[in-house]
Amino acid sequence: EDKVVQSPLSLVVHEGDTVTLNCSYEVTNFRSLLWYKQEKKAPTFLFMLTSSGIEKKSGRLSSILDKKELFSILNITATQTGDSAIYLCAVAHSGNTPLVFGKGTRLSVIA
């Protein structure tokens, strides 16, 4: 059975801290891994990763994929209260079949 497991489930940090969120997966015919950020509303797309070892970066956020060990990490440096959200990891596999989502990591950044 395909599955995506995120850890930790929740995390509380202080502003300025650096955090690492984890996503491991077991799916057949992996194609890509996606990260989303969900604040109060809909999930918004952050990154899509398809190749091992190539870091994707956007401001203070970065992500990398290890296809051999079947996991990805999302790093956030110098966290701000606006980073507080649920971060979702999803995996696309086997052509055009649906994404498989993890349960998310709830990040709270306190001042």
Partner 1 sequence: EAQVTQNPRYLITVTGKKLTVTCSQNMNHEYMSWYRQDPGLGLRQIYYSMNVEVTDKGDVPEGYKVSRKEKRNFPLILESPSPNQTSLYFCASSLLAGGKNIQYFGAGTRLSVL
Which residues of the shown chain bind partner 1 in the complex (CB under 8 A)?
Answer: 31-32, 34, 36, 41-45, 48, 88, 90, 92, 95-96, 98-99, 101-104
State the nearest-atom distance from the C-beta of 111 to partner 1, in Å: 25
Nearest-angstrom CA–CA distance, 14 and 70: 30
Residue in the structure block whose two tokens are 């970066």: 57
Q: Which two tokens stand for residue 94?
A: 């086997």
State the nearest-atom distance from the C-beta of 10 to partner 1, in Å: 11
The residue (of 45 and 110) whose beta carbon lies closer to partner 1 is 45
Neighbouring C-beta atoms of residue 33, cutoff 10 Å: 25
The residue (of 64 and 102) whose beta carbon lies closer to partner 1 is 102
The residue (of 17 and 100) whose beta carbon lies closer to partner 1 is 100
State the nearest-atom distance from the C-beta of 86 to partner 1, in Å: 9
Q: Are 34 and 51 contacting, i.e. CB atoms less than 8 angstroms apart?
A: no
Q: Which two tokens stand for residue 22?
A: 């984890």
Q: Which two tokens stand for residue 90?
A: 């999803």
State the nearest-atom distance from the C-beta of 98 to partner 1, in Å: 5
The residue (of 32 and 75) whose beta carbon lies closer to partner 1 is 32
| Parallel/antiparallel/unpaired status of strands 105-110 and 10-14 | parallel
